[in-house]
Structures are given as structure tokens and as C-alpha cells.
């Protein structure tokens, strides 16, 4: 069996305590811990010149090969082009997109530099699977270095409409670089349609109905591969985490009140402000819910050195304060707003304790939290998922109450409906979603992608057809 090499910018932390907040680290780690293989990427550290760079560590069947970046590389490749240019564009926030040509040069330089560090670690039969927008030019750099292995790429974020992508000045160069992979995967059918549209209308390429692409003088395979979770693992974590002291203490403070839970990296794509305001509208329009419900937002800060993140954070803090000031009582704080990172079992049992999972990004590639929330529920008395139509997960999770995060009143109505939904309806929605989560779990995602990468046919799930 060929060795699997995963390449991504963010690598799950090597020490115990679970992966970093972020769907890529969680999903990829779950996929890799069964097959074993090597995971190559950034160590998360900024190093001075002359410090040791590549560190190789073994954890179970996974070899982690991680590497530090210099301050300049970090600024241009990660903070600059990846997160100030690509991230907002991929999430339809062209208003926040910054572009600096030297950052793009740095992005290409770091991709080439990382590729050159990987080459000596590769064996001829290895299958290389590269993840996410930080590493679009990685295959091109490997090919230039003479690597002939099968190379796959998976985009964890949305693939935006061509009219949005073309706002990034080097868009054609980026998509041309994508065609250096043998297989390119996106999360959902709408993402796949957007990719096809770009290839056909912008690049003058062709795409067959089963995803064979001819463009920029190259041939490759594209497809939609929705990332999943291991639902039964989350379910047992939720049951075991319920015994944790922190979770007991939280339940004590809740009393008979219902809990609405949101968990996201503190990112503008997640729609936190709209969500806070819709919760305010619920309290305004449904006085019976006041004091009966608490909304808890867990949001570990991310990319805090970017202005857009700082601005959003201070706006949220003032909104949380304003809403709590307006509706709070001596014995009740409507919104609890927490920045901490939690252990997976604690998080799963907080999901289980919550009557509503409130997952309302403005745009999201998939959103694993939506899946984890459902998987963590008590099958006899499950909570209700309120889910944005703009999360990739909405393509699969038909048992959720689907909302438009821009529609504040619509969101408040969905919360109200979720809080008062009869148990039978909750159970039937939960059962439907649990079946899908089991049928399309993270190993299905991995195996389907790898099958495509080996050039074999893979079964397209109904939800992933273009
Ligand atoms: P993204 O990849 O954009 O961050 P996802 O919802 O797909 O969004 O993935 C986030 C992952 O990070 C989930 O597995 C979630 O459980 C985890 N996570 C998010 N916030 C926390 C936190 N505060 N503590 C621990 N894990 C977290
Ligand atoms: O899943 C989307 C994603 O952007 C990953 O690529 C990334 O690792 C994660 O969210 C967290 O962001 P960051 O790596 O910038 O902390």
C-alpha cells in the first residue's frame, strides 16, 4: 500500500490535547490516524535565521514533519496573501480583500521553499495530498523539482463564483497552478459548479460531466468530496465528557434554562455579529423566551494580527455588552461570550447539553461544528440544529432548520421554533442527520478522494453531484 503524505499549512498539534481549532486539522487528523502516513507542514512557529527548521516526530502511526517560517515568510505567505487576500475572496468578502504584489511573490516563494523541503522526504510510490488555499502552487513547485508522484489537492473553503475570484489579480495564475495537480477536490456541488464555470468561461477549458478537465494544456480530475466526521466517536466523547467537572459546573449555572450554543474560530466569515443581533431579535419579539434561554458563544481568536479580525472582535465585544445591558437581569446574562479553546470531550458534552446548535456562517466550506453538534446529541432527547444555507454542511444536513444569516427576523423565528420543537420531530430530524453522518463519514471522504487520486472510479454521493 502506497504511503500517504499529507501537506497542509496548519498541522494538528503534536502534543496530546487534540488538534487546533480549525476543520482542516480536525478532519485530516481523523482521516490520517487510521491509515498512518506522514503529515508535512508549518510548525506554527516563527523562527530566526539559523534556528533548526525541520522537526520530525512520531505519534502513533503518523509521522509529523514540521517546519518553522521566518517572520518575512509568515508576513507575506500566511498573514498576507493567504489570509488578507485569498481568505476574504474565497468567502465572498471582496470588500475586505487586500492585495500586495510582493505578498504574492512571497506566497509563491514559500510554496517553492516548502516543496523543496519535502522532496528529500518523498519515496517514489508516495501519494501526496495537499490541503487548502495556502498551498495552491505547491504541485507546480514539486513538478518543477522533478516529482512524478500522484498529487491531489483539496480546498476546505468555498470555491467562489468566477466574478468574485477574478477580483484577485493573479487569479489565472492560481487556477493554472491548480491544474498541475492530478485531482482537485472541493467540498460541495455549488463549489464544483463555480470551479467548472471558471475553467470553462474564464480559462477556455473543457470539463466532461464526470469531471475530466482539459485546461492550460493539462488534464486532471475534479470532484466534490464533502468532508465528514466520525459521529460515533463524537457521541461517545459527549457521553464521557458529561462527567467532567467543568461541564457539571456549567450545567449547575444553567439551572432549567435552555442553552443555545455556537462554537467558531473568531472569524468574520462565521457571521457572529448577525447571529448576536438575531438572538437580540428573539428576545425582543418573544418575551416568553427571556430568562428561559442562554446563548453561549465560544470563539477562540484566530489571525489576531490582521486588522479585519481586530475590528470584528471589538465590534462583537461591544454588541455582546449592549445586548446583555439591554436584556440582562441580576440573575441572568443572556449572552455568554468565551474565547477559550476546549478539549474535544468537553466541547462535545457542551453540544449535548445544548437545546439548539446555532451555526450560521455567512460563508463556510463545510463547517464541522454543525456535524459535531448533531453527533453529540442524546438520541432520546436531541437538540435542534439551526444552520446557515451558506455553510457547505447545509447541502447534506436536511434535518436542520436552514436559515439565511442576513435575515435577522427569520433567524429569530428559527431559534424560537427550535426551542419549542416537539420531541418526536427532533428525534426524526436527528435520526436522518445521524444516518447521513455515518454514511458520509471522514473515512468515506478520505477513501473517495484517494480512489480518485489513484485514478479509480469513486461513487459520487447524491449531495456532491454538480
Ligand atoms: P473552520 O475550519 O473554519 O475553523 P469548522 O467548523 O469546519 O470551521 O472546524 C472547526 C473545528 O475546530 C471543529 O472541529 C471544532 O470542534 C473545533 N473548535 C472550534 N472552536 C473550538 C474551541 N474553542 N475549542 C476546541 N475546539 C474548537
Ligand atoms: O478549514 C479552514 C481553515 O482555514 C484551515 O485551512 C485552517 O487551518 C483553519 O481553518 C484555521 O485557520 P488558521 O490555520 O489560520 O489558524
Q: Could you identify the atom of ligand 1 that is nearest to the CA of residue 338? A: 23
- Indicate which residue's Cα is closest to atom 18 of ligand 1: 21
Q: Give the distance (Å) from ligand 1 centre to CA of residue 227.
A: 14
Q: Could you identify the atom of ligand 1 that is nearest to the CA of residue 27? A: 14
- Indicate which residue's Cα is closest to atom 12 of ligand 1: 21
The helix/strand/coil state of 357 is strand
The pLDDT tens digits of the residues spanning 239-294 come to 987 778 888 889 888 889 999 999 999 999 999 999 999 999 999 999 999 999 99
Q: Give the distance (Å) from ligand 2 centre to CA of residue 60.
A: 24
Whether the CB of 23 sits within 6 Å of ligand 2: yes
Q: Give the distance (Å) from ligand 2 centre to CA of residue 83.
A: 10
Buried b (16+ CB within 10 A) or exposed e, 105-123: ebbbbbbbebbeebeeebe
Q: Would you put residue 178 in left (φ > 0), alpha (ψ -120 to 50) or beta?
A: alpha
pLDDT given at position 464: 52
User: Which positions are annotated as active-site residues?
Assistant: 156, 364
Q: Give the distance (Å) from ligand 1 centre to CA of residue 340.
A: 12
Residue with cell 467558531: 264
Contact 336, 295 (CB under 8 A): yes
Q: Could you identify the atom of ligand 1 that is nearest to the CA of residue 156? A: 2
* Domains of the chain as residue ranges with CATH: 4-228+443-461 (3.40.50.2000), 231-439 (3.40.50.2000)
pLDDT given at position 30: 86
Which of 180, 137, 133 has the alpha carbon at shortest distance from 156? 133
Q: Give the distance (Å) from ligand 2 centre to CA of residue 334.
A: 30
- Write the CA distances from 101 to 108, 141, 168, 378, integer angstroms: 11, 19, 11, 51
C-alpha cell at 103: 505578498
The pLDDT tens digits of the residues spanning 51-84 come to 768 999 999 999 999 999 999 999 999 999 999 9
Q: Give the distance (Å) from ligand 2 centre to CA of residue 88.
A: 13
pLDDT given at position 259: 98
Using CB atoms within 10 A of its CB, is residue 273 exposed (0-12), middle (13-18) or buried (19+)?
Answer: middle
Give the C-alpha separation, 333 to 288, whole Å.
16
Mean pLDDT, rounded, of the chain: 94
- Indicate which residue's Cα is closest to atom 16 of ligand 2: 302
pLDDT given at position 300: 94
pLDDT given at position 457: 74
- Indicate which residue's Cα is closest to atom 26 of ligand 1: 21
The ranges of the chain with pLDDT < 70 are 14-21, 52, 460-466
- Indicate which residue's Cα is closest to atom 5 of ligand 2: 24
Q: Which residues have C-beta atoms less than 6 Å from ligand 1?
A: 21-24, 26, 263, 265, 298, 300, 341-342, 347, 366-369, 372
The pLDDT tens digits of the residues spanning 159-186 come to 999 999 999 999 999 999 999 999 999 9
pLDDT given at position 18: 46
Q: Could you identify the atom of ligand 1 that is nearest to the CA of residue 298? A: 23
Ligand nearest to the CA of 297: 1
Q: Could you identify the atom of ligand 1 that is nearest to the CA of residue 19? A: 26
Whether the CB of 371 sits within 6 Å of ligand 2: no
ipTM of the complex: 0.98
Answer positive or negative: Cα dihedral of 375, 21, 161, 188.
Answer: negative
Q: Counting every residue, how long is the chain?
A: 466
Amino acid at each position: 500500500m502506497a504511503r500517504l503524505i499529507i501537506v497542509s499549512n496548519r498541522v494538528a498539534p503534536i502534543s496530546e490535547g487534540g488538534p487546533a481549532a480549525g476543520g482542516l486539522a480536525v478532519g485530516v487528523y481523523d482521516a490520517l490516524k487510521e491509515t498512518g502516513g506522514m503529515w508535512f507542514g508549518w510548525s506554527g512557529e516563527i523562527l530566526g535565521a539559523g534556528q533548526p527548521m525541520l522537526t520530525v516526530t512520531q505519534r502513533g502511526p503518523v509521522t509529523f514533519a514540521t517546519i518553522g517560517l521566518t517572520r518575512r515568510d509568515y508576513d507575506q505567505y500566511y498573514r498576507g496573501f493567504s489570509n488578507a487576500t485569498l481568505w476574504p475572496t474565497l468567502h465572498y468578502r471582496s470588500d475586505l480583500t487586500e492585495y500586495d504584489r510582493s505578498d504574492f511573490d512571497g506566497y509563491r516563494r514559500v510554496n517553492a521553499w516548502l516543496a523543496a523541503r519535502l522532496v528529500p522526504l518523498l519515496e517514489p510510490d508516495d501519494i501526496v495530498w495537499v490541503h487548502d488555499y495556502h498551498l495552491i502552487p505547491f504541485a507546480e513547485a514539486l513538478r518543477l523539482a522533478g516529482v512524478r508522484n500522484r498529487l491531489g489537492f483539496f480546498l476546505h473553503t468555498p470555491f467562489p463564483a468566477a466574478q468574485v475570484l477574478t477580483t484577485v489579480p493573479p487569479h489565472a495564475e492560481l487556477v493554472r497552478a491548480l491544474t498541475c495537480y492530478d485531482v482537485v477536490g472541493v467540498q460541495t456541488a455549488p463549489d464544483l459548479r463555480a470551479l467548472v464555470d471558471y475553467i470553462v468561461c474564464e480559462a477556455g477549458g473543457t470539463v466532461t460531466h464526470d469531471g475530466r478537465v482539459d485546461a492550460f494544456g493539462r488534464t486532471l480530475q475534479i470532484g466534490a468530496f464533502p468532508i465528514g466526521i466520525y459521529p460515533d466517536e463524537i457521541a461517545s466523547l459527549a457521553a464521557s465528557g458529561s462527567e467532567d467537572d467543568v461541564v457539571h459546573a456549567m450545567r449547575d449555572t444553567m439551572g432549567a434554562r435552555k442553552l443555545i450554543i455556537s462554537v467558531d474560530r473568531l472569524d468574520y466569515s462565521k457571521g457572529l455579529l448577525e447571529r448576536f443581533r438575531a438572538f437580540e431579535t428573539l428576545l425582543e419579539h418573544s418575551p416568553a423566551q427571556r430568562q428561559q434561554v442562554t446563548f453561549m458563544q465560544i470563539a477562540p481568536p484566530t489571525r489576531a494580527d490582521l486588522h479585519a479580525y481586530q475590528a470584528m472582535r471589538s465590534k462583537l465585544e461591544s454588541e455582546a455588552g449592549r445586548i446583555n445591558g439591554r436584556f440582562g437581569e441580576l440573575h441572568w446574562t443572556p449572552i455568554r461570550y468565551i474565547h477559550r479553546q476546549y478539549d474535544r470531550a468537553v466541547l462535545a458534552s457542551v453540544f449535548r447539553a445544548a437545546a439548539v446548535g446555532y451555526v450560521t456562517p455567512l460563508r463556510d466550506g463545510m463547517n464541522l461544528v454543525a456535524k459535531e453538534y448533531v453527533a453529540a446529541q442524546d438520541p432520546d432527547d436531541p437538540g435542534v440544529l439551526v444552520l446557515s444555507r451558506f455553510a457547505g454542511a447545509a447541502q447534506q444536513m436536511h434535518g436542520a432548520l436552514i436559515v439565511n444569516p442576513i435575515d435577522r427576523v427569520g433567524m429569530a423565528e428559527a431559534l424560537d421554533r427550535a426551542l419549542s420543537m416537539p420531541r418526536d420531530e427532533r428525534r426524526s430530524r436527528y435520526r436522518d442527520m445521524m444516518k447521513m453522518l455515518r454514511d458520509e463519514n471522514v473515512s468515506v471522504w478520505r477513501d473517495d478522494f484517494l480512489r480518485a487520486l489513484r485514478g479509480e472510479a469513486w461513487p459520487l454521493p447524491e449531495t456532491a453531484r454538480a
